[in-house]
Chain A
Amino acid sequence: MNPGIGRHVLDGYRVLDFTQVVAGPTATLMLAEMGAEVIKVELAPAGDPGRLGPVRVGERSGYFVQHNRGKKDVCVDPKNPEARTILRDLAAKADVLVQNYAPGVIDRLGLDYETVRAINPKIVMCSMSAFGQTGPLALEPGFDFLGAAYAGVTSMGGEKDGAPYFPMIAIGDVSTGVHAMGAICAALLYRERTGRGQHLDVSLLDTYFHYHEASIETHTLSRGEVRPTRSGLHSWYAVPAGVFRGRDRYIIIIAPLQQHWQKLCAAMGQPELATDPRFATNDDRLRNLDALIETIESWIRSMPSDDDAIAAMREQRVPMAPVLSVEEAVRHPHLRARGTVRTIRDRILGEFDVPGFALRFSDFPEPLTLDAPLMGEHNREVLTGLLGYSEERVRELEARGVLRRGES
């Protein structure tokens, strides 16, 4: 490849994609956003269960479109031996193979890593799952929040004595996809230097556990004296850091560092609080958390409006943020300016918003325009282009149901 040529950083890499729903498709969508050729393999008759996700207009799912833009689509009957031959032939031509079936399923498709490696020693194969390919939980069925529960993460969100809450977003699935994408690219770097492929085992549970930026070390180093658990609206170790009630909205304030605490006191017009013995240090503030919350919230309520409180804090450069609803977030000028939220056009669904590509490369400032495939849309293109099948043979395989095509 010549400098400056190419659609994006991963132009030229080919990915064989056996993923479904969110976690796996996130990894391959990110690869597609970076210009890789992604060939999604769907298993007939239903294909990716994500095709049933809301919002559906007719048979087309916005959920499926969001997670599968920019991918080519081949749909095969997994029970048919000819289809298995096609899959093996495709594996021979791919740089990367990604799959997120339950452990063992890919083996039954005849594409366990040993077989794949024998076909293509340079391939980077990435297996994604809820609990990993090994260990006592490996064969348990899994979804996003199950990994969170086993990681001790679910126990960290909610009122101290109440039920833990269920985040209405797929934190773990998306992040597992990001972990997988990073692992794949690191393995490709290694392959570029050594010629060796390898197998990657990325799990939701590992991803959730990775989030414990402090809880694990504080618990063990304190010999169990510190027992981190959910603590409602405020951090259990840094003060003030949490959600504060305004008149009409909630506001996040994070001012546990001494310089930020002083700025917050200045913003509140009460600079003397910075040296008040109840609030002088993080430990003092932790001991007097309730009094501190009351002090801050009554200051917010004393202002003519939440916006005035926000403006006062902004002027003093106190780290804070209004808690935006999804509607407010998608309209926010910052998110629009940076393409954090992006309006895409689907040929069936028309225009709608999705999260934009989260990575930004100076050599490729414009995001690619990517279309989500119809089921089996690229049967012909992939088999004739990559495997040298004749058009007639593809039609014949489609007629016999070895290959399938759908309208959405």
Chain B
Amino acid sequence: MSAANPIHVLEGYKVLDFTQFVAGPTVTLMMAEMGAEVIKIEVAPAGDPSRIWPVQKDGRSGYFVQHNRGKQSLCLDAKSPEGLAILKELASRVDVIVENFAPGVIARLGLGYDVVSKLNPRVVMCSVSAFGQDGPLAQEPGFDWSGAAYAGTLHMIGLPDGQPIVPTIAIGDVSTGVHALGAVACALLYRERTGKGQYVDCALLDSYFHYHEAPVQLQSLSGGAIRPKRMGSHATYTAPAGIFKGRDRYFVIFAQIDHLWAKLCAAMGRPELTNDPRFADNSARVAHLDELAALIEGWIASLPGDDAVMAALREHRVPFAPVLTLEEAMNHPHLRQRGTVRRVRDRMLGEFDVPGFPLRFSEFPRTLELQAPTLGEHNEQVLARHLGYAPAQVRALEAKGVLHRGDR
């Protein structure tokens, strides 16, 4: 490992990546962002199914590019004996294997942890799945929101008497990827000290359930007296904390702690409300939530515009935020300045925006320039570099269909 002048914190680590769509690729993308060498295995002939996801231009998918920057692509017929032999050789030479097939698939490919750990006792293997590798639901097919449904988290979003609402972003997939990244890094730390690899089982359902910062405990410790549920736009055990309607936009306002409530009263020019018995402490405010929300929205409506609302709240340091549309968020100077939103350049798609790398290391203040691979782009490079194949051997394997290449 080249520790002298590393490009980032994980430089030198080699990852064999059997992932597709979002959850798995998030793990390996984060590792690539940290300088690891990621060899993405794509199953011939189509490769990662997300290669056809929108937006597509000339057969190149922005979705695929976002989730696979910085990875090398090796595309092969995993069911052919030669393909499997190549995978086993690679598995014996890498530090980490990540896969997010349905449980059992990687074992049927001949690369279950029992096999892999014999080839390479130091390897950290991480399986990412919807419901986990064991348990009654393990074999059910699952996508992001299925985990939210079974975790009781979907139950927590929407109007109390209405339907639960799906946030139309892949909260669970991305978060499962981040959980898996942490688990892999910890398992590597353990390996560096003990020489022992191990197997890590990460599930979407577990990640969603992890979000219950209070509801599970509330329900359980209250002996069922509290039954947490979706409550529309306001928190119910603390107030005011919720979404308030402005003239042209919505605001999130948090003033549920007494000193913050006093600041909100001052911002509203109504300091006497601080001691009003209806609103004097959190339980009084919760009990008078409708009145409280009407009062705050009435104040908002009385000002000349939403900017005046924001100025007053900001002046009194009331925690609040305007609910930005996606476009507003992408153009916000804070998100641009910190690289929270990042412009990438793809050699085919040109420039476009993606979420930036969310981890910031003082030793490596710059983010890496990473390109998403075309299908099988690195067949020759990977086989030559890691397994010592000659170019002619690689071409022969491509001619036989053991290896595949695409132009996108």
Contacting A54 at CB < 8 Å: which of B182, B183, B224, B237? Answer: B237
Stretch touching chain B among A80-88, A144-152, A269-277, A380-388:
A144-152
B221 touches A179 (CB 8 A): no
- How many whole Å from B285's CB to the nearest CB in chain A? 14
Stretch touching chain B among A103-111, A232-240, A300-308, A397-405:
A232-240
| Interface residue? B195 (CB, 8 A) | yes
B146 touches A252 (CB 8 A): yes
Stretch touching chain A among B81-89, B197-205, B379-387, B392-400:
B197-205
A181 to B181, CA, bound (A): 9
A224 touches B168 (CB 8 A): no
Which interface residue of A209, A237, A321, A362 has the most chain B CB atoms within 10 A? Answer: A321
A190 to B2, CA, bound (A): 11
| Interface residue? B247 (CB, 8 A) | no
Asked whether A329 and B166 contact (CB < 8 A) given A134-B338, A146-B321, the answer is: no
- How many whole Å from A183's CB to the nearest CB in chain B? 4
Nearest A residue (CB) for B178: A178
B321 touches A150 (CB 8 A): yes
A66 to B214, CA, bound (A): 8
Which interface residue of B159, B318, B333, B363 has the most chain A CB atoms within 10 A? Answer: B363
| Interface residue? B111 (CB, 8 A) | no
B178 touches A216 (CB 8 A): no
- Interface size on B, as a range, is 35 or more
- Chain B proximity mask over A98-121: 1 for CB below 8 Å, otherwise 0: 000000000000000100000000
Contacting A333 at CB < 8 Å: which of B136, B235, B320, B338? Answer: B136
B211 touches A170 (CB 8 A): yes
- How many whole Å from B205's CB to the nearest CB in chain A? 6
B329 touches A66 (CB 8 A): no
B151 touches A329 (CB 8 A): yes
Residues on A with C-beta less than 8 A from B209 are 329, 335, 340-341, 355-356, 358
A155 touches B324 (CB 8 A): yes
Residues on B with C-beta less than 8 A from A190 are 6, 9-10, 361, 363
8 Å CB interface, A112-147 against B? 113, 131-132, 134-138, 140-143, 145-147
Contacting B216 at CB < 8 Å: which of A1, A214, A330? Answer: A330
SS of A interface (majority): mixed
A340 touches B206 (CB 8 A): yes
A3 to B191, CA, bound (A): 9
Residues on A with C-beta less than 8 A from B30 are 182
Asked whether A221 and B134 contact (CB < 8 A) given A169-B215, A171-B211, A330-B219, the answer is: no
B217 touches A157 (CB 8 A): no
8 Å CB interface, A223-261 against B? 224, 226-237, 241-243, 245, 250-252, 254, 257, 260
B219 touches A326 (CB 8 A): yes
Which interface residue of B9, B205, B328 has the most chain A CB atoms within 10 A? Answer: B9
- How many whole Å from A212's CB to the nearest CB in chain B? 5
A168 touches B230 (CB 8 A): yes
- Chain A proximity mask over B140-158: 1 for CB below 8 Å, otherwise 0: 1111111111111111111
Residues on B with C-beta less than 8 A from A332 are 150
Contacting A219 at CB < 8 Å: which of B131, B327, B356? Answer: B327
A202 touches B360 (CB 8 A): yes
Nearest A residue (CB) for B346: A221
A218 to B67, CA, bound (A): 13
Contacting A164 at CB < 8 Å: which of B62, B178, B183, B243? Answer: B243
A156 touches B329 (CB 8 A): no
B3 touches A245 (CB 8 A): no
Contacting A362 at CB < 8 Å: which of B10, B199, B231, B326? Answer: B199
B171 touches A334 (CB 8 A): no
Residues on A with C-beta less than 8 A from B224 are 327
| Interface residue? A154 (CB, 8 A) | yes
- How many whole Å from B212's CB to the nearest CB in chain A? 5
Asked whether A202 and B359 contact (CB < 8 A) given A166-B233, A362-B200, the answer is: yes
Residues on A with C-beta less than 8 A from B217 are 55, 62-63, 65-66, 352-354
A232 touches B165 (CB 8 A): yes
Contacting B233 at CB < 8 Å: which of A163, A198, A333, A337? Answer: A163
8 Å CB interface, B66-86 against A? 66-67
Asked whether A168 and B327 contact (CB < 8 A) given A30-B182, A363-B198, the answer is: no
Contacting A182 at CB < 8 Å: which of B170, B181, B326? Answer: B181
A178 to B199, CA, bound (A): 19
Contacting A168 at CB < 8 Å: which of B49, B147, B149, B157? Answer: B157
| Interface residue? A192 (CB, 8 A) | yes
A185 to B13, CA, bound (A): 14
Which interface residue of A34, A137, A186, A196 has the most chain B CB atoms within 10 A? Answer: A186
A179 touches B243 (CB 8 A): no
Residues on B with C-beta less than 8 A from A322 are 149-150
Residues on B with C-beta less than 8 A from A234 are 166
A9 to B140, CA, bound (A): 30
Residues on B with C-beta less than 8 A from A363 are 190, 196, 198
Asked whether A323 and B149 contact (CB < 8 A) given A55-B226, A189-B188, the answer is: yes
B200 touches A217 (CB 8 A): no
Nearest B residue (CB) for A167: B157
- How many whole Å from A175's CB to the nearest CB in chain B? 5
A209 to B257, CA, bound (A): 27
Contacting B169 at CB < 8 Å: which of A201, A203, A212? Answer: A212
A157 to B67, CA, bound (A): 23
B163 touches A321 (CB 8 A): no
| Interface residue? A317 (CB, 8 A) | yes
A150 to B250, CA, bound (A): 12
A235 to B53, CA, bound (A): 14
B214 touches A170 (CB 8 A): yes
Residues on B with C-beta less than 8 A from A150 are 321-322, 324, 329, 332, 334-335
Q: Which 10 pairs between the two chains have the least Cβ-Cβ distance?
A: A329-B152, A152-B329, A185-B185, A182-B182, A321-B149, A149-B321, A170-B213, A362-B199, A213-B170, A157-B167
Known: A196-B363, A252-B146, A330-B152. 10 other contacts (CB 8 A): A150-B334, A153-B169, A164-B233, A185-B185, A189-B9, A194-B6, A206-B340, A211-B171, A217-B352, A234-B166
- Would you give 28 A-B contacts (Cβ < 8 Å), ordered by A? A1-B193, A54-B226, A55-B218, A163-B233, A168-B215, A175-B178, A185-B189, A187-B9, A188-B185, A194-B6, A205-B340, A213-B174, A214-B54, A217-B66, A218-B62, A232-B165, A235-B168, A241-B143, A319-B141, A323-B164, A324-B149, A324-B150, A325-B152, A326-B227, A329-B155, A333-B136, A337-B136, A361-B190
